[in-house]
Amino acid sequence: MSYSKYYSNKYDDIFTMLKKEGYNTSYMHGNYGYFWNRGNVYKSFGVDNLELKDKFEDTSENIMGYLSDELLYKQAVEKLKTYNMPFFSYIVSASSHTAFTLDGLEDRTKVNIDVGKYKDSFFGNYLESMNYADYAFGIFIEELKKAGLYDDTIILIYGDHNGIDMYNEEMLDFLKQTNENLNDVDIKLNYIRVACAMKIPGIANLKIKKPVNKLDIKPTFEYLIKGNEEENISEENISGEKQGKERKEREEREEVSLGTNMFARKDFVSLNNERIITSRYYFDEKWYNKIDGTEVILEKLPEEERNLLEEYYNDMKQELAISTSISINNLLK
């Protein structure tokens, strides 16, 4: 809605933030500017280089109507090589979009996964589509290395939403083979999760064990670029569930976004359908234990933990009220 109705508003967006820090900014997508009104939106954001389908020389291979991931990534690197440094680029690939048939892919040998009994099913097509997306992203990484742009670049890759229906029969059959105790909470969490990984120069491999969401991307980049002596990127700092007091201290430090730096102390995320995810619990009208999917009886919890869950719920309602005011009521007009 914001992209179609309120695109002319001035937001404290990630492109504006990075331009203030001296970064050359770009947005790349293998579709035309009218798709989701992206042409007008990113012009209003003041992006330095708006690279939509009409700006790419080679449009010979299209998958599901979009420029193929491989052609997008190869030409994206060629464009990155011409930009002044430092640069920030938001590249949106789409070959793995529904309905996952890879219509238009010229060389099917680039799909090298054997999906077995799921062949030609919707879920099987999904797996093959993800396999091609992985192949093409590997091309992107190799091209960055050849161009000398890999070592000193932060790379974040993530999915923008779920890929397949929550209760797809073939997918559930597959999941039950890997987890015979699969329960409804597992299924709902699987639907909510998206792939996300980040490479940071000089940082060894580590896993963020707490919940994060897409709202956290902008403040995370702000933290990485501006630096923060009060936080350290380490396994000890980013793991575990922290108490309310530390979360309030973090909120007082960060005032520019609804999200939170992924490496700061954080203990829950809320979704726009009034769901809440913590390290231990999942809220969907009622609280559930993430380990076994059983309902949480609040009265049986220690008072401190019960109060914390109530605080999460109240914070979720407040966050969604702010978000609704921005995206539906045009608070930032």
CATH code of the domain containing 290: 3.30.1120.170
Instruction: Note whether 294 and 185 are same-domain residues.
Output: no
pLDDT of residue 121: 96
Query: Which residue intervals of 147-279 are DSSP H helices?
Result: 169-178, 184-192, 217-226, 235-238, 244-253
54-66 confidence digits (pLDDT tens): 999 999 999 999 9
Domain tally for the chain?
2
Average pLDDT, stretch 47-58?
Answer: 96
Q: In this structure, is residue 245 part of a structural domain? A: no
Which of 162, 187, 207 finishes a domain? 207
Q: In this structure, is residue 65 part of a structural domain? A: yes
- The answer to whether the bond into 99 is cis (omega within 30° of 0) is yes
Determine contact, residues 101/84, Cβ cutoff 8 Å.
no
pLDDT of residue 326: 77
pTM for this model (two decimals)? 0.87
Structural domain containing residue 186: 1-207
User: Please, which contacts does 286-292 make with residues 24 or more away whose CB atoms are closer than 8 Å?
Assistant: 288/185, 289/185, 290/185, 290/189, 292/181, 292/183
Q: In this structure, is residue 66 part of a structural domain? A: yes
Token output for 151: 């070592």
Determine contact, residues 89/61, Cβ cutoff 8 Å.
no
**Residue 97, pLDDT above cutoff 50:** yes
Instruction: Note whether 184 and 82 are same-domain residues.
Output: yes
Q: In this structure, is residue 247 part of a structural domain? A: no
Q: Average per-residue pLDDT in the chain? A: 88
Instruction: Note whether 198 and 272 are same-domain residues.
Output: no
